[in-house]
Amino acid sequence: MTQNESKIMKRQERKSLQKLLRILIFFMPPIIILTIVLCWWQYPESYEFFQEYISALGGRKSALGYDNHVSMIIFITGFIMMAILTLAIAIIYLVKKDLLKYATRKSIYAFFLSLGAAFVAFPHDFQRVVHGIGAFLFVFGFAFFNFAAQALRFFRKRKLQLHKYRIGVFWDIFLAIFVFIVMLLFLVFYFLQFAHGLDAYHLPQIGQKIVLIVDCVAIYFIDINDM
């Protein structure tokens, strides 16, 4: 095999991997959204979207003490699927790091996201500490994976001098900054609630949903060449 043929084969393999990764990554938001919608549908009482964490949908009991096993099973199933999906993404990045850009870093971010999803699958009223750690890792893992993908995309184009006067590149850095700011604000609200008992206007609960919504939308702006 000539050197040129070897380069062509590597390029083809890289393209195939990027397509596979984009499909897997694009499956993340539908799994999250479908899990929440189905859990909400089966929740035995009125779920206060702006006042309760999403975790409430996956407890053994509802907030008022009703049996919540159907919603709990859906919740566990959804987040286990998310854990498997993101673990597969992490493994692909790790195994094929010689073909993909910033693969080691993305593998680490995806692994923490997978670990968070696995821990979140434990009902909050059964393993509160494990679930709490999982929720923290999942929300911030998802946000940071998204932020890193957008930011690394910008840095790569800047290094190749492809960033000048291009609207798409400015959009990349805007999304990266926006995701980071939303993630930071949620962290502040979360800390104030649990460290100081401050829960004015239910900002941590609202912030959790905003982070997930922003991530679910922003992740579709990641280009296939930056997978």
Q: Which domain holds residue 95?
A: 3-226
pLDDT category at 201 given cuts 50, 70, 90 is low
Rounded mean pLDDT of 210-217?
A: 84
Who has greater pLDDT, 183 or 63?
63
Q: How many domains does the chain have?
A: 1
State the average pLDDT over residues 78-107: 89
Label residues 38-75 b or e (16+ Cβ within 10 Å = b): bbeebbbeebeeeebebbbbbbebbbeeeebeebbebb
Contact 106/22 with Cβ under 8 angstroms? no
Residue with the two structure tokens 């964490």 = 53
Kindly report, residue by residue over 18-61, the tens digit of the pLDDT: 888 989 999 999 999 999 999 999 999 988 888 888 989 999 99
Write down the pLDDT at residue 204.
75
Q: What kind and span of H or E run contains 73?
A: helix 69-95
Across the range 130-157, mean pLDDT stands at: 78
Task: Provide the β-strand partners of residue 182.
Answer: none
pLDDT above 60: residue 1: no
Position 76 scores a pLDDT of 95
Which residue did the predictor score with more confidence, 194 or 118?
A: 118
Q: What is the pLDDT of residue 154?
A: 65
Secondary structure tally for the chain: helices H, strands E: 7, 0
Confidence of residue 198 (pLDDT cuts 50, 70, 90): low
In sequence order, what are the beta bridge partners of 67? 61
Considering only CA atoms, give the Rg of the chain: 19
Share of the chain above pLDDT 70, in %: 80
For residue range 93-134, list pLDDT tens digits in order: 998 888 777 788 888 889 999 999 999 999 988 888 899 889
**Residue-level pLDDT at 177:** 75
- pLDDT value at 167 more than 60: no
Query: What band does 140 get if pLDDT is binned at 50, 70 and 90?
Result: confident
Across the range 195-205, mean pLDDT stands at 65
Across all residues in the chain, what is the average pLDDT? 82
Over pLDDT 90: what percentage of the chain? 30
- DSSP lists the bridge partners of residue 61 as 67
Instruction: Record the pTM.
Output: 0.85
Mean pLDDT of 83-97: 92
